Structure 1
Amino acid sequence: MEKAELSGLDVLSSFLETLPEKLEKTPYDYNMYIEWMQLVRAVGDIDSLRISRQHMRARLAIPEDMLLEWVADEEAQPNALYDENVLRNVVDIFEKGLEERVSCSMWQRYIDFAKRVDSNKETLACNAAEAAFGGAEYLFSILRRAVEATGPHYLQSHAIWTQLKDYIEQEISRAGDDLQRSEMADLLQRLFLERLSQPNSGLEETFGMYSEFTTQYNGTDYEQQMVNANKIVSSTRVNCAYRDSLEGSLAKTDDSWDGYLRYIDKLVEDKKAGTNEVCMLYERALGLHCYLPDAWDKYILYMEGSAENIKAALDVASRAIRFCPWSGKLWAHVINFTFVQQGHRQASDVYTRAVSTHAVDYSMLELGLAATAWLAVMRLGHSNNPDTCAAALNAACNESIDKAYTLDLDTADPYLLLECCCASALIDCLNDVEGARRIWLRVCKSRKVCANAWLKFAEFERIHGTASSARSVYRQAAQRRLDAPELVFSAWLQFENSGGCLSTIYAAERTINLQRRLSQRRIERAICESRAEAPEIQKESLRLDEEIHAESTGIAKRRRSGSQYGVHSTGAVMEASASGEMASKLPYNQSKEKTMPSYSAAHYTGPSAYTKDTRTVFVKGIPLQYDIGNIAALFGGPGCVESTTLLTDRQGDFRGQAKVVLSSTDALIAALDKNGSKIGNNFITIHIFKPHHHTPKPSAAEVTVEVRGFSPETGNKQLGSIVRDVGPMIRVRRNQAGDTAFVVMGSHAAASKAADLFNGHVVDGCILSAKLAEDAAGLGRKKQTALANVNYTNFVPRATAASRPAKKMKIARDPQKPLQPVVATSSGQDIKKTNADFRQLYLGQEGKHSA
């Protein structure tokens, strides 16, 4: 037993050594106080236990059961009824506990304690009681206060009111003269009439008691007294029947908060209760749900709207933060009400207390709610004194953003209230557009997948920037993997339709369609992973991804070289890509990595063996202070990493990117699982490294089929799927305009079959036309030379289908100009030709020609 006590003392002493630091840093840590009390109780030190409870009560509201346990510990002290200090401690516990809650059970416990003290008539005990309670009539005072506080309670107030009635009747019987007896009887009659007008579960019993009281003390005027009382009781009975039905509905919900909320809303809607009765319902609900911030918020808003002054709402809000100090919404109420009642300085002190004591800085959302209220107070102060408060408002905005973005982004506010408040304050009060832009840049850089942040940034640029900067923000947002991409797509198209031109609308639609296809492919990959599809299906999924990636790379390449649609580089605010990483004016050979799709490890767990290329990962976002050893340790150490290559800029400085060759399949899977993890302040991106392969020279057996007539929106995947089964297909190429494709087949027979399949095939509402590339004109210098050697006098072009409407040309024969082409047929019919067929021809005089 002695060893156990010694070990308990050692634990307590070690805890007490770190306690002052904990109390200073985290004074609202509920678990810390509980641990402190448990250690002290195990040792048996009642004085230290009392100190721990007093420290907790100074910051937090102690639960009712713990308060009653504290009272029991104090009453268990030797000679408690004779010790003035013990009695004073118990009275202090009850008084402060009842300031924080309206509890019928706690009032009853307080009354029982006062009756127990009052029953001891010894002189020493009476003196101690009068000193502790502050007077000789303490029992009557407690009963009057209890009835006043709990009177609106429909179910439990009757028991407390009956005790007050019994006490007054005893005083009437003990009264020494008729005057005193008459005064007490008049008091009791007033209490009866007030009680009969108040809905309660003991109304009929109270009415019977009043009848007995009137018979005994007002017998001469009994009939008139009962008639008046019956009028009061008649209207109260109606309300009691109404309340009984609501109480039954509440009981069916097991006294849940939703049940109380419906109860209160019904009373307010039907106007069947006064303010005191509605407040009592809130107090009843909070007695069971005191750690629910929404319940306190509803109560505060009700008090703010119905109270005669703001002080009642401030009192409720001050109680609320003692029960729920982690709620930024409740701190915001206290800040606002304090500013209205006491001024700017006291409101700032409240916010400082909330932040410095780590009450709300565990969550960006809760901190943002409190900081938003504080910034509103600062803005009001700036409007009153713009010269002296400008610097303070600017510092407050930056301090709030800095504080919020040191916290976990998973706790961020989806509505961005703090960010909008800071940006609005800088623009409206300080006219600092660049400061607001820096805030939105930081927000979008930190919250990369939040569509709402990008939309608000784009709206900011539309109002305070230029159309080009707003368009750049929309483009960056559309290329990211956002939580709600369709919102960004819709806003971008609306922006372009209202203020853009045809070229910008077309570019926006092209980017949006591509991103939708990429998103669809990601969904399909996820479905394949969940269903554990065969490796062949996974390979097909990867192949389709590569085609989409190749197309997106082509779009980026055309954008950097200058688009044919009139969309030029404008030095945008930021350059972004489909992978979701930030970049700024990178050359193409560096920034093309940004559009590479990231694959999960499930796509690389097939039966085939891994090569060194497939075990190489590309890592971005590495802190600049990392070296090869740190990067190797990130992936498991030398046993999991074969080699590491750091990528540097032109000056030889590390740029936060590296290629890592892993030693095994398991190491590769483990590395890919780290994609998106956070190192320091950076989020790293990891994906399979794809080396750039040069396009192989075509072999002698390869034959190219030229395909025309489709829309530039049609992808290579759609064209390739048409002829996939006719023979070996090597690759699909596109011209710069995107309206002509060259499908390279492995043999002449396969190319002929492919041309037949393409001719007349409908894709996206367009009819395709195809021919072997060796029959096409205008494809290169060799073909042009061969076409120049043709005898144009007898040249009859072959009619072909085209992607654009053909023109009807009528060419007359002129012997004086033998090199001029003449188009003729034996039937004399007009020939339909495309522009390509007449590209190298000299058109002669237009007219009819007969064979």
Structure 2
Amino acid sequence: MMADDTELVSNTDQKMEDASAENPARADPPSSDDSGDSDSDSEDEAESNQQIVTLESELSANPYNYDAYVQYIKLLRKTANLEKLRQAREAMSAIFPLSPSLWLEWARDEASLAASENVPEIVMLYERGLSDYQSVSLWCDYLSFMLEFDPSVRGYPSEGISKMRSLFERAIPAAGFHVTEGNRIWEGYREFEQGVLATIDEADIEERNKQIQRIRSIFHRHLSVPLENLSSTLIAYKTWELEQGIDLDIGSDDLSKVSHQVAVANKKAQQMYSERAHLEENISKQDLSDTEKFQEFMNYIKFEKTSGDPTRVQAIYERAVAEYPVSSDLWIDYTVYLDKTLKVGKAITHAYSRATRSCPWTGDLWARYLLALERGSASEKEIYDVFEKSLQCTFSSFEEYLDLYLTRVDGLRRRMLSTRMLEALDYSLIRETFQQASDYLTPHMQNTDSLLHLHTYWANLELNIGKDLAGARGVWDSFLKKSGGMLAAWHAYIDMEVHLGHIKEARSIYRRCYTRKFDGTGSEDICKGWLRFEREHGDLEHFDLAVQKVMPRLEELQLMRLQQESTPVKPSAGLKEHSSQKRKAEQNVEEESLAKRQKRKSQKEVDLGGQSATVPATKNVKAENGKTADSDKEETEDAKPLKPKVYRDECTAFISNLSVKAQEEDIRKFFGDDGGVDSIRILHHKDTGKPRGLAYADFVDDEHLAAAIAKNRKMFFGKKISIARSNPKKGKKEFTRRGNVDGSGNSKDPSLISEKAKAPLGGETEGERKGNEVEVRGKNTFAVPRNVKPLGYTTPKPSADETPKSNDEFRNMFLKK
């Protein structure tokens, strides 16, 4: 298996030196042709060395350039610069998980130079490669290397046999279930056991029978796995049994002479392969795009999940992540499956370790990694190391950093309170984590609910676990120095003190914040909150003092609000210019209309011999300014400002979870090239100009829109995109409590228009004419007295026999006697 064309290319000068040492007669000066070849090789080598220098400069400036590393390693192999080659590979593997082909290339290069003393180093290379990806080719090379170069295995000693059997048993679940390539592992296992059988003395019948039974068992296990070419495996098994003296019909599938269990298992395996044959064919097609092939892998995974065999599900997941190692959605899907299926174990934490190396920019994977370590009872040092490594990564949002900090604190809290915790944890770890989170996130998430949640959590833990009231107050005081404009933060601080029964401290916080300016009605709310607090917790003296403080503040706020309402809103410069242009255009239209009416009037009546005749005005009759009416119309239209294009989203798809790498042409190609896409709008951040992962796609008709929506949750650039029909009207307020109101605050519902508005200018409303009480409307009615009935008052009902009074009787009741 080791024979391959991947050996290192030797240096030309070294070849010549070796040839001269072996045969002095060949040390003569080269011919003219040889000289030409040598010059050509020298030029190639000089060019390669120049490229190496350039790549070294690029990698020094940007060590995260994956393609530059691949090219650099390729050139170093070509020039046989072994020392630099090793250094480059180590540097790349420290940053990136190498692909199976890169690991295989590295291991084979070192194996070609193998000696007995450096076998453990090469074994470690193979183990590191298999730690990243479970590759069949890498496993086969590893097993072949051990058989050929490991002194403890060579010659089949008892310790070496045990070592190889253990290695083969590791390879089977890792690569032996690969439907199209898994046969290589099984066949290698049988060949090894056949070699062991050949070393057993023929006189030792008992030991030979044990070994024969071991080979038979491997055949039986192999025949029960749904793999490609099972019929060939069955023929090989029958041939082998024939050699052992058991007569089996090689030309048929008859297994009547073997155990019933083996026959049933083989039949089931063949059926399972038939069910998977088309799935294997789909993922092996050469003309598929990456997106299409990825979707075929996901279909395959979904199918294996329905079969309920975790080993087979893991096998197809491993094949998928080897094909798409940087798909965060795939890694999340894989690890979530392992969490549900395996619950705990090294397999889960190892999968998370590989996932975070492949997609270090995904905060969700790091947070799940920390939880998996906690479930597996990992040490504090191991969890801390992973947490610190996660903070060195670059995420797309600060919310992901916040989630990591909270996950870390959650774990510390749980383990600190757990009775099963073996190692003692100090509360200072929680305090340090909170402090680090606050220092890092406050400049970026100031005045946000997420940051408020962090500090609320911190203050609660200071009280409940740290037993430090001063520490909890310090958390709030520090937070309010930077986010004092958040009303919710003040309320949370006050609630903490009230909950602890510290009424005096809560009152002092109200005194600190009641004069602050908060958004919306927050300033009024904090004042009213203080009054409510004193009603519920204070005595009369404190209540009167609160009223004395709060009422002037409320009056001040009310006056400010009245001034804001009475001050007309000044239009912006752009709006002023637009209004000016509009007025000029309207004035031109009015002047044009007046000129037209005068001309039509003068031309309408023409006296012909004492009779009047009507002469139609033509379009080409010139106005007083010498221009035609049509030209006047054109100038009027040109005078109107150009309006921006309005998208009504009547046949539009809204796309989210879009990769920032996706361009307009990529989206158009994703929906198809049949002309259904009218336009595409990718949304960008206002500040940075970077894509937001959102887009709108306009379609020519509903049929194409429906086809686009059908692709919802499909993979696009390694992410499951969401596609839904855009419905902008959904988020608009159509009605308010008083009815349909336009942008100016005026009611559009005729039934809600006040009577005063309907009355003539300067006139009275119907209610005023009739002397009825008129409802006082508007916001500025706080000073208008109202007739309020006492609490518990009910209108007395007239008795049944009571006679209604007439108008005269009512009038007499109020007349003075």
TM-score (norm. length: structure 1): 0.49
The letter for the 2-side match of 1:106 is L
* Alignment-derived partner of residue 158 in structure 1: 183
Out of 334, 341, 353, the residue aligned to residue 299 of structure 1 is 334
The letter for the 1-side match of 2:183 is H
1:399 to 2:436 alignment: yes
Equivalent residues in 2 for 1:233-632, closer than 5 Å: 233-244=266-277, 256-257=293-294, 259-268=296-305, 270=306, 272-307=307-342, 309-339=344-374, 340-355=376-391, 358-360=392-394, 363-383=397-417, 389-406=426-443, 416=450, 420-430=453-463, 569=553, 604=577
* Alignment-derived partner of residue 99 in structure 1: 131
Deviation at 1:182, TM superposition (A): 3.3
The letter for the 2-side match of 1:196 is L
Q: Is the 8 A contact 1:147 1:164 kept in 2?
A: no
* Alignment-derived partner of residue 195 in structure 1: 222
Deviation at 1:282, TM superposition (A): 1.9
Change (3 A) 1:215 1:145: same
Deviation at 1:285, TM superposition (A): 1.9
* Alignment-derived partner of residue 225 in structure 1: 258
* Alignment-derived partner of residue 185 in structure 1: 212
* Alignment-derived partner of residue 614 in structure 1: none
Change (3 A) 1:308 1:220: farther
Deviation at 1:209, TM superposition (A): 2.6
1:804 to 2:793 alignment: no
String of CA shifts for 1:63-110, please: whole Å, max 9, x gaps.
2232234345546xxxx3564577665544322101222112332444
* Alignment-derived partner of residue 233 in structure 2: 206
The letter for the 2-side match of 1:804 is V
What secondary structure does 2:263 align onto? helix
Deviation at 1:150, TM superposition (A): 1.5
What secondary structure does 1:164 align onto? helix
Q: Is the 8 A contact 1:286 1:296 kept in 2?
A: yes
Unpaired runs of 5+ residues, structure 2, are 1-42, 249-254, 465-470, 499-505, 526-530, 533-549, 583-684, 689-737, 777-805
Change (3 A) 1:215 1:716: closer
Deviation at 1:374, TM superposition (A): 0.9
Q: Is the 8 A contact 1:153 1:200 kept in 2?
A: yes
Change (3 A) 1:676 1:210: closer
Deviation at 1:363, TM superposition (A): 3.8
The letter for the 1-side match of 2:432 is A
Deviation at 1:316, TM superposition (A): 1.8
Change (3 A) 1:201 1:52: same
Instruction: State the distance in 2 between where 1:304 and 1:465 align.
Output: 41
Instruction: State the distance in 1 between where 2:405 and 2:568 align.
Output: 38
Change (3 A) 1:156 1:405: farther
Instruction: State the distance in 1 between where 2:764 and 2:165 align.
Output: 112
Change (3 A) 1:717 1:176: closer
Q: Is the 8 A contact 1:67 1:97 kept in 2?
A: yes
The letter for the 1-side match of 2:103 is L
Q: Is the 8 A contact 1:365 1:413 kept in 2?
A: no
Instruction: State the distance in 2 between where 1:63 and 1:391 align.
Output: 42
The letter for the 1-side match of 2:430 is L
Instruction: State the distance in 1 between where 2:272 and 2:264 align.
Output: 13
Q: Is the 8 A contact 1:250 1:260 kept in 2?
A: yes
Instruction: State the distance in 1 between where 2:573 and 2:315 align.
Output: 57
Out of 172, 183, 188, the residue aligned to residue 147 of structure 1 is 172
Q: Is the 8 A contact 1:304 1:310 kept in 2?
A: no
Change (3 A) 1:238 1:427: same
What secondary structure does 2:325 align onto? coil
Change (3 A) 1:415 1:320: farther
Change (3 A) 1:193 1:458: farther
Instruction: State the distance in 2 between where 1:589 and 1:43 align.
Output: 83
Deviation at 1:50, TM superposition (A): 0.9
Q: Is the 8 A contact 1:761 1:767 kept in 2?
A: no
What secondary structure does 1:325 align onto? coil
Deviation at 1:194, TM superposition (A): 1.4
Instruction: State the distance in 2 between where 1:34 and 1:439 align.
Output: 50
Out of 51, 63, 68, the residue aligned to residue 104 of structure 2 is 68
Instruction: State the distance in 1 between where 2:750 and 2:114 align.
Output: 106
Q: Is the 8 A contact 2:304 2:312 kept in 1?
A: no
Equivalent residues in 2 for 1:811-850, closer than 5 Å: 846=814
Instruction: Report the aligned-residue RMSD.
Output: 6.2
Instruction: State the distance in 1 between where 2:238 and 2:768 align.
Output: 119
Instruction: State the distance in 1 between where 2:121 and 2:568 align.
Output: 71
Instruction: State the distance in 1 between where 2:344 and 2:741 align.
Output: 69
Which is worse superposed, 135-144 or 366-375? 135-144
Instruction: State the distance in 1 between where 2:414 and 2:46 align.
Output: 63
Q: Is the 8 A contact 1:257 1:295 kept in 2?
A: no
Change (3 A) 1:234 1:196: same
String of CA shifts for 1:307-327, please: whole Å, max 9, x gaps.
374332222222222222222
String of CA shifts for 1:579-600, please: whole Å, max 9, x gaps.
xxxxxx9989999999978959
Change (3 A) 1:465 1:71: same
String of CA shifts for 1:747-766, please: whole Å, max 9, x gaps.
xxxxxxxxxxxxx9865365
What secondary structure does 1:225 align onto? coil
Instruction: State the distance in 1 between where 2:750 and 2:336 align.
Output: 68
Instruction: State the distance in 1 between where 2:573 and 2:275 align.
Output: 62
* Alignment-derived partner of residue 84 in structure 2: 48
String of CA shifts for 1:593-624, please: whole Å, max 9, x gaps.
99978959687578869xxxxxxxxxxxxxxx
What secondary structure does 2:357 align onto? helix
String of CA shifts for 1:315-347, please: whole Å, max 9, x gaps.
222222222222222222333343452333432
What secondary structure does 2:184 align onto? helix
Instruction: State the distance in 1 between where 2:91 and 2:299 align.
Output: 38
TM-score (norm. length: structure 2): 0.51
What secondary structure does 1:291 align onto? coil
Q: Is the 8 A contact 1:335 1:351 kept in 2?
A: yes
Instruction: State the distance in 2 between where 1:568 and 1:426 align.
Output: 34
String of CA shifts for 1:454-499, please: whole Å, max 9, x gaps.
9987995897699999x999x966699xxxxxxxxxxx99xxxxxx
Unpaired runs of 5+ residues, structure 1, are 119-124, 447-453, 481-491, 494-499, 502-565, 576-584, 610-674, 679-710, 723-759, 778-796, 807-828, 832-842
Q: Is the 8 A contact 2:370 2:383 kept in 1?
A: yes
Instruction: State the distance in 1 between where 2:458 and 2:443 align.
Output: 21
Change (3 A) 1:713 1:162: closer
Change (3 A) 1:767 1:39: farther
Instruction: State the distance in 1 between where 2:308 and 2:553 align.
Output: 68
Change (3 A) 1:193 1:713: closer
What secondary structure does 2:258 align onto? helix
Deviation at 1:53, TM superposition (A): 1.1
Instruction: State the distance in 1 between where 2:753 and 2:183 align.
Output: 80
